[in-house]
Structure 1
Amino acid sequence: MKTYKLNNHNLSQFSEVVSIPQYDRSKVKAGIVHVGVGGFHRAHEAYYTDQLLHKETEGNWGICGIALLEYDAKIYNTLKDQDGLYTLIVKELDGTLTKRVIGSIVEYLYAPENPIKVVEKMANPDIKIITLTITEGGYNYSEATGEFNFENSAIQFDLENPQAPKTIFGFLTQALKMRKEKGLKGVTIQSCDNIQGNGQMAEKMLLSYVKVAEPTLVSWINENVSFPNAMVDRITPATNATDISSLKETSGIDDAWPVVCEPFKQWVIEDNFAAGRPAWETVGAQFVDDVVPFEKMKLSLLNAGHTVLGILGDLMGYATIDESVHNKEIQNFLHNYMNIEVTPTLAGLEGVNLEEYKESLLQRFGNIYIKDQIDRICSESSAKFPIFILPTVNKQLENKGSVQFAAFVVAAWAIYSLGKNENGKPLLIKDAMQGILNDKAIASKENPTEFLEIAAVFGKLKESKTFVDAYTTSYQNITKNGVEKCVIIMNNSILN
């Protein structure tokens, strides 16, 4: 099959083999700035927006993507060469592939190259919404205190160099200051990250920074900027070379960075927008008054479930999430964790069948065509455990409920942080706290509770005798018997 480079010029070449944008992209004006154009954004918000642009012919809700970090140079150059176009490949449960070219990203800027241009774009009166996927760690807060971390060297740089910022907080502060000085209307800052109360978190961390960097701006933000909470969901594994070559061979599309994802998608948003919003509800999003119960359900079941499968599976030598969940004992362990420890902490889920939701998660995790790499799921675990696992632990401790399954996962994480699986093979660990985690993991070989001394992750959890006892027992059992044997014993204890 003849191949063509994916770009505006060649777009019509693909119309007979995949769905392509049916709207005139040249007439689409950016009304949204999005920071962090990774795979998830392109499978989620950009997808929803692309579908909307097929309905709204005026086309004022295009996306201007922002590559914030030097690390983002590759995706920036890729999308720049492809005129913002990319292919979304949905891997259905039966193995079929649904492909479409997405056209909603109509502009793209690289912040390290020209930070002022990014600030000016955020401050442009056409921009009504600034959305974020900056990862859990991007919010720069301490789990121990819940407060903004001013010791971060990048934050210190932004405070000293406000006209050439590096962090999202520096950029947002300068953009909002410019909007105020120009007498412009406010804007909505919408987090799309996996944090409960993500809008509230974005607001708290930004205002913490602004109070130091530009204190006179605080009242204007309070009056003119909204921060709606949102729950986002779509499993989006990293794209691999096979995905790229298969797309080229079957569709003739030479796309340097397509996106693969599962068919399931969900976006629940609080309807609190300062300057108008797209009608995303017409393409499947759900607007509600209070998104927190939905967020808590997703974070403590789906995201925590991923972490459980990732840590246990990686130690046992599995490479992908589907491999891990198809181990019946791990699947039963996860099922028990969700039923015994998570479910009692969930409430306020009107219209949600929780049992069906939990069963659907096991099906989604088990999609053999997704092949979500475990090392991706386990990356930045130090930012994920405090959000996905520990809130359940703390609530269960408060209610005098079971914490043995969560304690087992934490113990497994401590052993995982030594850097080798149970077969003696090195683990690929990507974590901003990797050095500290490894040091504490080594110290835990003599005294298991050393791992719980990482206050930035565990807060005051080490003060709970109930949790410490469960964790220590699990640590010793895993060290002696390995993960699978321990999991079998725990699952059997529930049956008995």
Structure 2
Amino acid sequence: MYTTADPEWGIAAYTFRNTELPRLLTEQDGLYTLLLRGNGAPRAEIVDSISRAHPGGDTGRWLADLASPDVAVLTLTITEAGYRVAADGTGTAIDRVLAGLRARHRAGGAPIALVPCDNLPGNGGVLREALGRAAANEDPGFRSWIEENVSFVDTVVDRITPATAEDDSVTAAELTGFDDHAPVVTEPFNEWLLAGDFPLGRPSWEHAGARFVDDLAAYEQRKLWLLNGAHTLLAYVGPTLGCTTVDEAVRHPVPAALTESWWDTATRHASLPAEDLAGYRERLLRRFSSRGIRHNLVQIAAGGSSKIPARILPVLRAERSRQRLPEAPVATLAGWLIHLRDRQVDDPRADELVSLARSDDAARRVLSALDADLADDRELITAVDDYVDHLRHAADRSPST
């Protein structure tokens, strides 16, 4: 079965992390298998939306594509950490986008829509601000062109997509007959919400289930806090208790109870109606518990210095403003502290944070790196320190998962 959202459009795909993937996709004529794993038998469909695939190092092709008026939309997934900028105002991913826009401006300046798909509130606005900082020293005419011709679309993407395992290619081939060396594994559930303008048009993504809405804020909040926030909690608490995947963690009594507690806390501050939030929680628990998806906690644990401020701290600040100190965010911060001390850390700020986590007064120093106000909260710091000991003792008593 082949699937494409809109046959009138095609994708020129670039990856700046993996040079092997573009080669594999090129050898497969851009085809890849979407392998859906849930609690039942896996299903597969072949996707033919990719017209060509390139490594990010193919700078000439990248600039030519962004300069072309035939390119109307640029979608981006650079993760939360990709929006960090260096002291000189540029950042790796943002600088590449800026170079592409500069080429487009020189080539005639056709409008374009930028569509970030990262787990950040107001991700379109975040991208706009990051590009604005990076372009601060650019020609005023170029900066004005960006303001007038580049649209920034806000999105919410909700679909659990773990790293592909070795046996997934075998399963995909058995289901489709296609020898795929680049399958993508995901859950059956999906939700893609978008808000913004597309000055040169867009694919008919709604045919594949996308929804276009006027205001994403409440949906962003729901997804970031309830799904991504719970994932972050599980990623730092679960491994301390011997769990390696999300489904193992939500079957363990300690992280399972903390997840429910986190949802109780977060929904007190969420904007959507209570019945919507309750239904979302029920669906999340089913999704997290699915044995068909092996979502490794180590994958989710990457980039905590960017994820925690977006997913956990807004709720914690709201609770502290009401003089409450809820257990779940404290447990998340304690688990992160253990992670920084004891595990291989994949984070743009790893060197700084690991050093702080292994120093005296570690909780205060690590929190200070995220938010100076929280670092001055002695009650919170004491609670995090105490919870580190609590988790270590719980690990000693932990049942097998």
Match of 1:169 in 2: 94
Is residue 329–residue 484 contact of structure 1 (8 Å, CA) maintained in 2? Answer: no
Residues 482 and 463 of structure 1: CA distance in aligned 2, closer, same or farther (over 3 Å): same
Note if 1:61 corresponds to 2:9. Answer: yes
Q: C-alpha deviations, 1:268-309, integer Å up to 9, x for none?
A: 110422322222223311111111110111011100111111
Distance 1:450 1:174, change over 3 A: closer
Question: How far is 1:473 from its partner?
Answer: 2.8
2:356 counterpart residue number: 440
Residue in structure 1 matched with residue 394 of structure 2 by the alignment: 482
Deviation track 1:434-480 (CA, whole Å, cap 9, x = no partner) reads: 22222222115x65423323x2x33432022342233233234334x
Q: Provide the residue aligned with 2:170 in structure 1.
A: 245
Q: Specify which of 59, 66, 91 is matched with residue 122 of structure 1.
A: 66
What 5-or-longer segments of structure 1 have no aligned partner?
A: 1-18, 22-49, 54-58, 141-147, 157-166, 420-426, 487-496
CA contact (8 A) 2:356 2:362 kept: no
What does residue range 150-169 of structure 1 map to in structure 2 within 5 Å? Answer: 150-151=87-88, 155=90, 167-169=92-94
* SS class of match (1:212): coil
SS in 1 for 2:346: coil
Residue in structure 2 matched with residue 102 of structure 1 by the alignment = 47
Question: What CA distance in whole angstroms lies between the structure 1 residues aligned with 2:64 and 2:175?
Answer: 42
2:31 pairs, out of 85, 91, 99, with 85
* 2:348 maps to amino acid: A
Q: Which moved more, 1:253-262 or 1:209-218?
A: 209-218
Mapped to 2, the partners of 1:284 and 1:119 lie a distance apart of: 31
Q: How far did residue 344 of structure 1 move?
A: 1.5
Alignment of 1:309 onto 2:234 = yes
Report what 1:361 is aligned to: 284
Contact map agreement 1:308 1:409 (CA 8 A) in 2: yes
For 1:285 and 1:207, how far apart are their aligned partners in 2?
29
Which of the numbers 311, 324, 343 marks the counterpart of 2:267? 343
C-alpha spacing 1:451/1:218, structure 2 compared with 1 (3 Å): same
Q: For 1:83-142, what per-residue CA distance to the aligned partner results, in whole angstroms no more than 9, with x for missing partners?
A: 111111101322x11111100011222231x312211101211111111001111111xx
Kindly provide the CA deviation profile for residues 190-220 of structure 1, in whole angstroms up to 9, marking residues without a partner as x.
1001011100000000011111244431111
- The CA deviation at 1:418 is 1.6
| TM-score w.r.t. length of structure 1 | 0.75
Q: Name the SS of the counterpart of 2:218 in structure 1.
A: helix
> In the alignment, what sits opposite 2:121?
196
What aligned pairs does 1:213-224 form with structure 2 within 5 A after superposition? Answer: 213-224=138-149
Deviation at 1:250, TM superposition (A): 5.0
Structure 2 contact 235–298 (Cα < 8 Å) conserved: yes
Bigger CA radius of gyration? 1
- Higher mean C-alpha deviation, range 271-280 or range 102-111: 271-280
Q: Distance in 2 between matches of 1:428 and 1:270?
A: 38
Distance in 2, Cα, partners of 1:236 & 1:432: 22
Cα distance in 2 for partners of 1:439, 1:194 equals 27
Cα pair distance change 1:132/1:352, threshold 3 Å: farther
- Residues 247, 289 of structure 2: 8 Å contact kept: yes
Give the Cα separation in 2 of the matches to 1:448 and 1:80: 48
Q: Does 1:410 align with 2:333?
A: yes
Q: What percentage of residue pairs aligned between the two structures are identical?
A: 30
Moved more, 174-183 or 120-129: 174-183
Count of aligned pairs: 399
Q: Is the partner of 1:168 in helix, strand or coil?
A: helix
SS state at 1:443 partner: coil
Does structure 1 residue 471 correspond to structure 2 residue 384? yes
Offset of residue 433 of structure 1:
2.3
Task: Look up the SS of the partner of 2:12 in the other structure.
Answer: strand
SS at match of 1:370: coil
Measured at CA, do residues 398 and 218 of structure 1 come closer, stay the same or move farther in structure 2, by a change above 3 Å? farther
Q: Could you tell me which residue of structure 2 aligns to residue 380 of structure 1?
A: 303
Q: Deviations over 1:1-48 (max 9, x none)?
A: xxxxxxxxxxxxxxxxxx125xxxxxxxxxxxxxxxxxxxxxxxxxxx
